[in-house]
Homo-oligomer: A and B are copies of this chain.
Amino acid sequence: MTLRDVSEASGVSEMTVSRVLRSRGDVSEATRQRVLEAARSLGYVPNKIAGALASQRVNLVGVIIPSLSNMVFPEVMTGISEVLEDTGLQPVVGVSNYHHDREEQVIYEMLSWRPSGLILAGVEHSEASRAMLAQAGVPIVEIMDVDGDPVDSAVGISHRRAGRQMAEAIIAAGYRRIAFLGTHMPTQDTRARKRLEGFEEALAKAGLSLVDREYYTGGSSLLQGRAMTEALLKRSPDVDFLYYSNDMIGAGGLLWCLDQGLDVPGKIGLAGFNGMELLDGLPRKLATMDACRLEIGQQSAEIVAGKRPGGAGAREVIELTPTLDLGDTIRK
Contacts and interface: CB of A to CB of B under 8 A. Distances in A.
Interface string A42-77: 010111111011000010000000001100011101
A221 interface: yes
Interface in A144-170: none
Interface string A278-320: 1111110000000000000000000000000000000000000
Interface size class for chain A? 35 or more
A277 interface: yes
A43, A49, A95: residue with the most chain B Cβ atoms closer than 10 Å = A49
A113 to B, nearest CB: 5
**Majority SS at the chain A contact face:** helix
A73 B69 CA distance: 9
A216 interface: no
A225 interface: yes
Contact of A221 (B49, B52, B277): B277
Given A49-B53, A69-B74, A69-B75, A281 B252 contact: yes
Contact of A225 (B49, B132, B281): B281
A31 interface: no
A222 interface: yes
A216 B61 CA distance: 34
Contacts of A283: 255, 259
Interface of A: 1, 43, 45-50, 52-53, 58, 68-69, 73-75, 77-78, 81, 90, 92-93, 95, 108-109, 111-114, 131-132, 135, 221-226, 251-252, 255, 259, 277-283
